[in-house]
Amino acid sequence: ELKVEQNPLFLSMQEGKNYTIYCNYSTTSDRLYWYRQDPGKSLESLFVLLSNGAVKQEGRLMASLDTKARLSTLHITAAVHDLSATYFCAVDHKTSGSRLTFGEGTQLTVNP
Amino acid sequence: DVKVTQSSRYLVKRTGEKVFLECVQDMDHENMFWYRQDPGLGLRLIYFSYDVKMKEKGDIPEGYSVSREKKERFSLILESASTNQTSMYLCATDSSGNTIYFGEGSWLTVV
């Protein structure tokens, strides 16, 4: 059974600071997704990481994937209030097409 | 842009009622999914479908069924709603597996 764990689950940080969210998963997969969710809203796709060593950046967010360590990171640089949201990682079941298992989510609050 | 439409955004139903949640996508995608989201648990897969009239159980199918009579429409059915099915339900779709698109969500309260 594929398990996906995120940490931390809650993160409160000040504007301008850097931080990393970690996503560990339990079985082999080479496709990992990061999503953002605002309160009461649906999920917005941030990144799709398709291979070992993949790194993608968009604005103040950078995601990376290490399939050997079964670890992905979402790094936040110089946080701003607009980044406050819940962030989910999700891992593709390698043998079942695009069926995803999600982490619990990291609730990020960026304080002025 | 891909559009995934969940027609019922907010529902309140009584215990034992039959509930239909509908999802329609406009991009001719083969794959469609139903998830439920609960605080602290992330999203959990209920059922999915890779083709018309085809369905597969996800991680938590108990108490649910689905129907996919047309490619663009995937319905989630609660045969006899119970209070522990109070949740937000999210429909999703994709074709290549590279990007999965989610609907806006349906908030269901069972009283």
A and B: number of Cβ contacts within 8 A: 50
Any A CB within 8 A of B99 CB: yes
Out of B42, B94, B105, closest to residue A104 by CB: B42
Out of A42, A88, A105, closest to residue B105 by CB: A42
Nearest alpha-carbon partner for A28 in A80, A93, A82: A93
pLDDT value of residue A95:
57
Is residue A96 scored above 70 in pLDDT? Answer: no
Q: B62: which residues sit within 8 A by CB, 6+ positions away?
A: none
Out of B33, B50, B90, closest to residue A42 by CB: B90
- Give the CATH H-level superfamily of domain B4-110: Immunoglobulins (2.60.40.10)
CA pair distance A36, A60, nearest whole angstrom = 13
Q: B10: which residues sit within 8 A by CB, 6+ positions away?
A: B106, B107
Any A CB within 8 A of B2 CB: no
Is residue A30 scored above 90 in pLDDT? Answer: no
* Structure confidence by residue, pLDDT tens digits, B55-75: 999 999 999 999 999 999 999
- Prior bond to B39 cis, omega within 30? no
pLDDT value of residue A52:
83
Residue A81: DSSP 8-state? G
Q: Where are the domains of chain B?
A: 4-110
Give percent of chain B with pLDDT exceeding 70.
Answer: 95
Is residue A93 scored above 80 in pLDDT? Answer: no
Is residue B98 scored above 80 in pLDDT? Answer: no
Q: Give me the domains of chain A, ranges plus CATH numbers.
A: 4-111 (2.60.40.10)
State the burial class of residue B44 (Cβ atoms within 10 Å of its Cβ: 0-12, 13-18, 19+). middle
* Structure confidence by residue, pLDDT tens digits, B1-15: 668 999 889 999 999
Give percent of chain B with pLDDT exceeding 90.
Answer: 76
CA pair distance A42, A36, nearest whole angstrom = 9
Any A CB within 8 A of B1 CB: no
CA pair distance B59, A50, nearest whole angstrom = 24
